[in-house]
Amino acid sequence: MFDLFGRKKALKDRMLAAGNLIQRGIWKRLKKRYTLSYDESFSSRLAAAVVNELLFRPPLKEDAGIFYKENKALINDKIGELRTDEQIKYAVTQTLRVCYFCEQMEDASIQTSEKWNANFDIAIRRGVFIDGGETPTPESFIPFAIEFSETA
């Protein structure tokens, strides 16, 4: 018997895992930059907060949420600095598109579409989203994610 649900779930899982590689690759790049100005611990936390904000992912731990609240202006400044980083902008754009696609696979509601349209609008206003283009395919996104993470 053909298991369409199982295949869709496997595809979604692979695409989200690749998105996590992108997240890690952005974090590594930013941490390297931030260690030029901040100590190791702060640069690591700042890079994580910037990545979470870029990808609309809430902090997972309480101390990360506190760090975010205490450093929100700095985080936004750092996001603004990424306007000229074409490599990170491309990675963010593709990852957000994949996240939207994966969430639509589970919940194709109007609320999901509205949430993601708002996220895209925010990313465009921040200058970290490349407007236009299509949702990446597994054949294009997964190899890109692997290379992006490995070359960070």
Q: Write out pLDDT tens, residues 3-44.
A: 666 788 899 999 999 999 999 999 999 999 999 999 999 999
Angle at 65 between CA 60 and CA 69, to 5 degrees: 155
Quick one: pLDDT at residue 133?
A: 83
Triad 39, 45, 49: Cα angle to 5°: 140
Q: What's this model's pTM, rounded to 2 decimal places? A: 0.92
Gyration radius of the chain's alpha carbons: 16
Query: Three-class SS of residue 51?
Result: helix
Q: pLDDT tens for residues 41-83?
A: 999 999 999 999 999 999 989 999 999 999 999 999 999 999 9
> What is the pLDDT, as a whole number, of residue 5?
65
Q: Which domain holds residue 132?
A: 4-150
Q: How many structural domains compose the chain?
A: 1
For 104-125, what is each residue's pLDDT tens digit? 888 888 888 899 999 999 999 9
Q: What is the distance between the alpha carbons of residues 135 and 148, in angstroms, rounded to a whole number?
A: 18
Query: CA 130 to CA 83: how far, in whole Å?
Result: 10
Angstrom distance (rounded) from CA 51 to CA 67? 13
